[in-house]
């Protein structure tokens, strides 16, 4: 069968096969532990559920404007003012089906075939394939100092005639690193000077630890008008534990928003009105659940660190936020896919191979699950690797 070049360039994630193994084992009644999760386990806020139910009861579930209903745009405007101290208009906002869709819409709005998009390593697993879907080329920027914290020099080295955009994700999936204010300031000024798009994936911004405050990219921008090429992406998935609602958004200049809206209009016609109502409820509602979640994750992070720090052979950097850590297991096995498969087979613990995030020999371990799962999961990994 003849598939498109683009379809052929997108590879199946090995994690899907690991997840399938996990599901098969669970179905057989095995006590498998998932340390590969990407979503908080807390319940969605009632402030999200009630307006959704109310709208459902009208039985008039219709199309909405492609960029989202005005009330959701207003909620996003309020969110942007509260958390980013930035006043934007409805024309600067597009709601999409998750931050993921907002990210790919941004890329589709700005990229031409053969353009290059740079992002630091380790990176979120979807960036390279999203760029490839646009016919463009993903470019990895590996921090020269061997840390998870890039410097502007690491990005500068990768710039070419074809560079169109940089993607920054901090707090970072998979490392949990919050990039330094210096780096954020440098990269924003660098992109403004070089006239590059900067996609700022801020989906974990409220899940930061040790008294950190979320870093606000707008604190460092010099271009404030409609010429700004900063695209801020966020959503309700992680902070409000609403991954299944699939609502995210982008805030940027009106031209990009128009382009994204046109594309979305032909792709999905916009997110479901029910889920938009739920997102409005979450954004405008009681916020204490976010802080509760953040505190739980910080406690879980501490437990995970204690367990890994006493795990001989494993190297790990303490995460500053998110609910992931990215640990170096290369002393045991350099091929991370092989190691993940070994751990699901022998320890019945699911981990995500570092290769998915651009680094071999590493595993991403999540601490968004229960303390029991974290403790038992790491113990089982120790049992099979240290014997
Ligand atoms: C770095 C990063 N960006 C974006 C997303 C997508 O979030 P959403 O569920 O809103 O599509 C994720 C989800 O795992 C993520 O880790």
- Per-residue pLDDT tens digits of the chain, which is 387 residues long: 799 999 999 988 777 788 888 999 999 999 999 999 889 999 999 999 999 999 999 999 999 999 999 999 999 999 999 999 999 999 999 999 999 999 999 999 999 999 999 999 999 999 999 999 999 999 999 999 999 999 999 999 999 999 999 999 999 999 999 999 999 999 999 999 999 999 999 999 999 999 999 899 999 999 888 899 999 999 999 999 999 999 999 999 999 999 999 999 999 999 999 999 999 999 999 999 999 999 999 999 999 999 999 999 999 999 999 999 999 999 999 999 999 999 999 999 999 999 999 999 999 999 999 999 999 999 999 999 997
What is the structure's pLDDT at 93? Answer: 98
What is the structure's pLDDT at 294? Answer: 98
Asked if 334 and 361 count as a contact pair (C-beta separation under 8 A), the reply is yes
Q: Of 122, 126, 325, which is best to mutate to test ligand 1, by the most ligand atoms within 8 angstroms of its C-beta?
A: 126
Strand partners, 93: 251
Cα–Cα distance for residue pair 147/65, rounded to 1 Å: 44
Ligand 1 centre to CA of 238 (Å) is 8
Where does the chain hold its CATH 3.90.1150.10 domain(s)? Answer: 5-43+288-385
b/e sequence 108-137, b meaning 16+ C-beta within 10 Å: bbbbeeebbbbbbebbbbbbbebbbbbebb
Long-range CB pairs of 210-215 (<8 Å, 24+ gap) are 210/298, 210/320, 212/178, 212/320, 212/321, 214/83, 215/170, 215/178, 215/179, 215/181, 215/184
Q: The CATH number of 5-43+288-385 is which of 1.10.10.10, 3.90.1150.10, 3.20.10.10, 3.40.50.1110?
A: 3.90.1150.10
Cα–Cα distance for residue pair 253/216, rounded to 1 Å: 17
Ligand 1 centre to CA of 184 (Å) is 20
Ligand 1 centre to CA of 313 (Å) is 31
Fold held by 47-284: 3.40.640
What is the structure's pLDDT at 225? Answer: 82
What is the structure's pLDDT at 1? Answer: 78
Atom of ligand 1 at shortest distance to CA of 102?
Answer: 11
Atom of ligand 1 at shortest distance to CA of 169?
Answer: 1
Q: Looking at ligand 1, which residue's alpha carbon is closest to its atom 16?
A: 173
Q: How many residues does the chain have?
A: 387
Write the CB contacts of 314 (distance below 8 Å, at least 6 apart in sequence). 308, 327, 328, 329, 331
What is the structure's pLDDT at 307? Answer: 98
Where does the chain hold its CATH 3.40.640.10 domain(s)? Answer: 47-284
Ligand 1 centre to CA of 128 (Å) is 14
Write the CB contacts of 379 (distance below 8 Å, at least 6 apart in sequence). 307
Atom of ligand 1 at shortest distance to CA of 99?
Answer: 10
Ligand 1 centre to CA of 286 (Å) is 23
Ligand 1 centre to CA of 109 (Å) is 19
Ligand 1-lining residues (CB < 6 angstroms): 38, 98-100, 124, 169, 173, 201, 203, 235, 237, 243, 248
Q: Of 96, 98, 206, 352, which is best to mutate to test ligand 1, by the most ligand atoms within 8 angstroms of its C-beta?
A: 98
Q: Of 39, 124, 175, which is best to mutate to test ligand 1, by the most ligand atoms within 8 angstroms of its C-beta?
A: 124
Peptide bond into 191 cis (omega under 30): no
Asked if 374 and 301 count as a contact pair (C-beta separation under 8 A), the reply is no
User: How would you classify the pairing of strands 230-235 and 197-201?
Assistant: parallel
Ligand 1 centre to CA of 101 (Å) is 9
Ligand 1 centre to CA of 310 (Å) is 31
């Amino acid at each position: 069968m003849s598939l498109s070049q683009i379809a052929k360039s997108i590879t199946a994630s090995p994690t899907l096969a690991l997840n399938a193994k996990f599901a098969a084992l669970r179905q057989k009644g095995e006590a498998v532990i998932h340390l590969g999760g990407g979503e908080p386990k807390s319940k969605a806020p009632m402030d999200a559920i009630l307006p959704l139910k109310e709208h459902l009861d009208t039985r008039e579930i219709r199309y909405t404007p492609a960029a989202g209903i005005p009330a959701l745009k207003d909620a996003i405007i309020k969110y942007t003012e509260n958390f980013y101290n930035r006043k934007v208009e409805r024309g600067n906002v597009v709601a999409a089906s998750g931050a993921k869709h907002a990210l790919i819409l941004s890329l589709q709005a700005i990229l031409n075939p053969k353009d290059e998009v740079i992002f630091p390593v380790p990176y979120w697993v979807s960036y390279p394939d999203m760029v490839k879907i646009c016919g463009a080329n993903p470019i990895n920027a590996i921090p020269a100092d061997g840390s998870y914290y890039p410097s502007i020099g690491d990005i500068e080295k990768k710039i070419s005639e074809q560079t169109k955009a940089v993607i920054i994700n901090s707090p970072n999936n998979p490392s949990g690193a919050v990039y330094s204010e210096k780096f954020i300031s440098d990269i924003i000024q660098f992109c403004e000077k070089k006239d590059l798009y900067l996609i700022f994936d801020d989906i974990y911004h409220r899940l930061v630890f040790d008294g950190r405050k979320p870093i606000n990219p707008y604190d460092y921008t010099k271009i404030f008008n409609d010429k700004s090429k900063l695209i801020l992406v966020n959503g309700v998935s992680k902070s409000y534990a609403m991954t299944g609602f699939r609502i995210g958004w982008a805030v940027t200049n009106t031209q990009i928003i128009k382009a994204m809206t046109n594309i979305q209009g032909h792709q999905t016609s916009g997110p479901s009105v029910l889920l938009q109502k739920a997102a409005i409820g979450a954004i405008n509602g009681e916020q204490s659940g976010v802080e509760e979640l953040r505190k739980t994750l910080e406690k879980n992070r501490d437990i995970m660190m204690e367990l890994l720090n006493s795990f001989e052979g494993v190297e790990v950097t303490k995460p500053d936020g998110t609910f992931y850590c990215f640990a170096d297991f290369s002393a045991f096995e350099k091929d991370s896919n092989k190691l993940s498969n070994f751990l699901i087979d022998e320890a019945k613990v699911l981990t995500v191979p570092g290769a998915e995030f651009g680094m071999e020999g590493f595993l991403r371990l999540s601490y968004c699950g229960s303390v029991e799962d974290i403790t038992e999961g790491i113990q089982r990994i120790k049992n099979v690797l240290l014997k």
